[in-house]
Structure 1
Amino acid sequence: MGKKRTIGFSRFSEVQTAWLFMAPGLILLALFTFWPIIFSLPLAFTNYSVIGETSFVGLENFKRAFADVDFIASIKNSLFYMIVVPFIQIISIFMAILVNRNIAGIKFFRTAYYIPVVTSMVAVAIIWGWLMSSNGVLNYLLMATGLISEKVNWLSDKDTALWALMFITLWKGLGYYMMIYLAGLQAVPTDCIEAAKIDGASNFQVIRKITIPLLKPYIFFCTLISLMGAIRVFDEVFVLTSGGPGNATLTSSVYIYQQGFEKFEFGFSSALGLIVSCIIMVFSIFVFVFNKKGGVNPY
């Protein structure tokens, strides 16, 4: 009996310790994530603007949102931004495969690929803004190699601005997803790969038939967070273009910010945020439906 009480007390102490370590993070999440989300739900049905009187307006904010040309343009740009998702996943998988080797100097390459992830997006945006300016390094290199005949305003031209921002997002996110896939690769059973090679499978066949299927849980996770990140993209757009030229790079997050913190229309801004959240939820469900099974064990 004494032994059982000791075991029970030990488990109880472990649970208490776990909650103690999680408490600071949970408190911060409750204050800065969960509470704003809960508070914004009723706010979406009001005309709350800080500087004026607040009253219940029902669905007027939502009607206004779907009639707002700028908001519709921002949604289209955010959805178009999702083009970056498959590219970032495919490239990061192959980067993980390349660095998943026991060769001299491989830790240096892993670190080098991960440096953009830990670099501030504001700093990254400023650097790329300089590189992509009309007198920047990118134009110089492209003109020197003969790929273009005149300077291109990559971030000021409505035909290239969004593509340039998507490239910056792609470049910065590769190292993050590479590390996740690298962790997945190191969990793949080596005996499966060795058996396939003994049977005569090529490296490409091993990747396609064994590595990729076993990485499916990681692909599911990375695709989901990458998809949500693409729809909610903000930093690089806000720092480099602020949604311009015109509405060419206006994304939903930037437009919501403009309505809430520049025009102080927090009720309308909350309604916009709720609509975008519903769009993200629909795409998340889509990803869940098409990624039910995979990895060593099915979900």
Structure 2
Amino acid sequence: MSKLNRNRLRFAYLMIIPGFMLMAVFVFYPILYGLPLAFTNYSVVDEMKWVGWKNFDRAFKDPIFIKSIWNSLIYLIVVPIIQLISILMAILVNNRLRGVQFFRVAYFVPVVTSMVAAAIAWRWMFQGNGILNYLLQSAGLIGKPISYLAEADVALFAIMCVTVWKGLGYYMMIYLAGLQSIPSEMQEAARIDGAGRAKVIWYITIPLLKPFVLLCSLISMMSAIRVFDEVYVMTAPLPGAPFNATMTSAVYTYEKAFRDFDFGYAAALGLIVSLIVMVISIIMFKYGRKGGMSYYG
């Protein structure tokens, strides 16, 4: 190895070390510390005892936890919706249009908006006397106000709208970076061969964006299963209301840990959710590799 390459390698490690140290303190250590807790009855107030697999057996017999897992899996509906709209938004703002910088900033504003503030605003919009019902009634689409967060059939889907609105700008920027990395010669060659704009997007742009689609889908999937802020704020003071229709795994784990102080059981719940995320991630990776990831390998 030449001296130049050794210097570059040394510099790369120096750049990695600070981030790795932060992850070691705030990610790896809590994980290693929390794993043994899943096999105890640790609750702060009582003496900690080893209970083995009892917490896991209790979890799979806990109807509220099973409900929360099901709700978290239903929440995955937001993943393809966010990705599809984000790609379309990225394609739109990737064009040389007048005022396109304004649209890029406008689409990104929800990303930098506090989730708590956004959830409170959306909670007001979803109330019976909120602006959403006013607009729908004015348009003649509904006859009477709907209490979106009070009806079990629609509450979870109403909260999903907040997640979609909040995440669009974030993923749009990633896809925009991907679009700008695609060689323009390929698209121009397709147009010369007679391909229309729709065919260029479908047969050229989308396939070349697959690595970005996989990355964004993984991030979105993990966020969807671990959704917490919007659910907790919009259903307060009874998280998961009505009737646990919006109870997600993250909210239920938090409730068990910091309301009931049942930290051992909460650690077991977190471990189960982590395993579910890992299995889904492995499946998505295999699908992504089959989808043409080797082009970038």
Q: CA-to-partner distance for each residue in 1:94-152, whole Å, 9 max, x for gaps?
A: 11000001222101100100110111111110111111111111110001001111111
Q: Give the TM-score, by structure 1 length.
A: 0.94
1:27 offset after TM fit, Å?
Answer: 2.5
Counterpart in 2 of 1:277? 274
1:249 aligns with 2:246: yes
Cα pair 1:224 1:287 within 8 Å, conserved: yes
Alignment correspondent of 2:80: 86
Please tell me the residue identity of whatever aligns with 1:67. Answer: K
> What letter corresponds to residue 252 of structure 1 in structure 2?
S
Equivalent residue letter for 1:149: G
Letter in 1 for 2:93: V
Which residue in the other structure is 2:33 paired with? Answer: 39
User: 2: CA distance between counterparts of 1:12 and 1:57?
Assistant: 51
Q: Could you tell me how far 1:23 is from its partner in structure 2?
A: 3.9
Provide Cα deviations, 1:158-216, integer angstroms capped at 9, x if missing partner. 11110101111011100011100000000111111111111111111111111000000
Q: Which amino acid aligns with 2:240?
A: G
| Matched positions, count | 293
Taking the aligned partners of 1:142 and 1:165, their CA distance within structure 2 comes to 18
Over aligned residue pairs, what C-alpha RMSD do you find? 1.6
1:170 aligned to which of 158, 164, 171: 164
Q: Distance in 2 between matches of 1:23 and 1:199?
A: 50
CA distance in 1 between partners of 2:80 and 2:253 (Å): 26
1:160 aligned partner, one-letter code: V
CA contact under 8 A between 1:75 and 1:252: conserved in structure 2? yes
Unaligned runs of 5+ in 2: none
Cα deviation 1:61-116 (Å, max 9, x = unaligned): 00000000000000000000001111111110011000001222101100100110
Contact 1:45 1:56 in 2 (8 A): yes
Scaled by the length of structure 2, what TM-score is found?
Answer: 0.94
Aligned to 1:109: 103
Report the Cα offset of residue 24 of structure 1. 3.7
> What is the match of residue 294 of structure 1?
292
Letter in 2 for 1:165: I
Deviates more, 1:82-91 or 1:287-296: 287-296
2: CA distance, partners of 1:101 / 1:54: 61
Percent identity between matched residues is: 56
